Homo-oligomer: A and B are copies of this chain.
Amino acid sequence: MHPDTEVDVAGLVLRSPLMVASGVLGSSPSLIRIIATNPDVGAVVTKTVTYRPRTGYENPTLVDLGYGFLNAMGLPNPGYSEYRFELGSIKKSLEIPLIVSIGPSDEGEAEEMVEELDSVADGFEVNLSCPHVENLGMEVGSDASKASGIVKAVRGSTGKPVLVKISPNVTDFVANARSAVEAGADAITAINTVRGMAIDVNAMRPVLSNVYGGLSGKAIHPVAVRIVFELYEKIKAPIVGCGGVYDWRDAVELILAGATAVQIGSAIAHSQTGLKVFNEIGEGVRRYLALKGFSSVKQIIGLAHS
């Protein structure tokens, strides 16, 4: 028995429910091209690009906690215009959807960026949830009317699927997801990183040059499961789960909670096998489906609710 792993996220047909999370592995198109040849990768989300190029923060920008990472990269990226050019050079060779992650700081930027990037993107993920960059990400995401305006601008500038990535660092994430959907988002990606920081006891100083950063990896998996589970009951849009997926059980857990697809970030670096982690997880999910007698991964989406 070969269970079917195809899923449909707001019109994007993915051969596998596993996607590469934004920002992990950076913005290099050649890496995207290579990753996209992995049969267990269903889609790639790019590094978040902004209107202008950003060099990001000074090092240190990442702390390895073993059970997760803390990062405050500061959204380094070449800017949307140069990035469009780079993505253009590989777009044709990709067999899977390319989702471009954007971090506009206002509606004007959103429109310009999306119009320009539309030719290389199969969909967009709007990052309103980066916890460590001022005037972008969470700062924008927690200003409800601004966030909503940006999503509307994106929606108005493309006919392609629009995902909005939300933050766990708010009292009422359901409200944020709802207003994104009302503003035109086709799907919600949950979650971005959790606010955190680390202090080195020898240096007696915060490790990250930005002091605060975002926690990812195993540590946040239960937080992601919880948010996906609750969103599944409270919003109508499909959900893409993200956070601490290290093995097939973690992926299945998010799907049972209600995720249509699952993004993987930190595990790529924490796994001994690097990108093969996609194959291990893909194989695990197929074995699980077969063992439980399901013919398609679609059958288990949200099953933990019944």
Interfacial residues, chain A to chain B (CB-CB below 8 A)? 65, 67-68, 70, 142, 169-172, 194-199, 201, 204-206, 211-212, 215, 218-220, 222-223, 225-226, 229-230, 249, 252-253, 256-257, 288, 300, 303-304
Distance A257 CA – B200 CA, assembled complex (angstroms) = 10
The answer to whether A257 touches B199 (Cβ under 8 A) is: yes
Known contacts A199-B253, A199-B304, A201-B249; 9 additional CB pairs below 8 A are A67-B219, A196-B223, A196-B225, A197-B226, A198-B222, A201-B252, A204-B303, A206-B304, A219-B222
Complex CA distance for A223 and B219, rounded to whole angstroms: 10
- Whether A253 and B67, one on each chain, are in contact in the complex, defined by CB atoms closer than 8 angstroms, is no
Contacts of A199 in B (CB 8 A): 225, 229, 253, 256-257, 304
Given contacts A211-B229, A253-B199, is CB(A194)–CB(B223) below 8 Å? Answer: yes
A36 to B35, alpha carbons, bound, how many Å?
Answer: 56
Residue numbers in B under 8 Å from A219 (CB-CB): 67-68, 218-220, 222
Contact call B222/A196, Cβ cutoff below 8 A: yes
CA distance A201 to B223 in the complex (A): 17
Q: Do residues B226 and A212 form an inter-chain contact, with CB atoms below 8 A? A: yes
Bound CA–CA A40/B124 (angstroms): 54
Collect the chain B residues with CB atoms within 8 Å of residue A223's CB. 194-196, 215
In the assembled complex, the CB of A293 is this many whole angstroms from the nearest CB of chain B, namely 12
Nearest Cβ on chain B to A258's Cβ, whole angstroms: 10
* B220 and A197 contact, CB distance less than 8 A: no
| A253–B257 alpha-carbon span in the complex (Å) | 35
Q: Report the minimal beta-carbon distance from A270 to chain B, rounded to whole angstroms.
A: 12
Q: How far is the CA of A195 from the CA of B243 in the complex (A)?
A: 14
B304 near A253: Cβ-Cβ < 8 Å: no
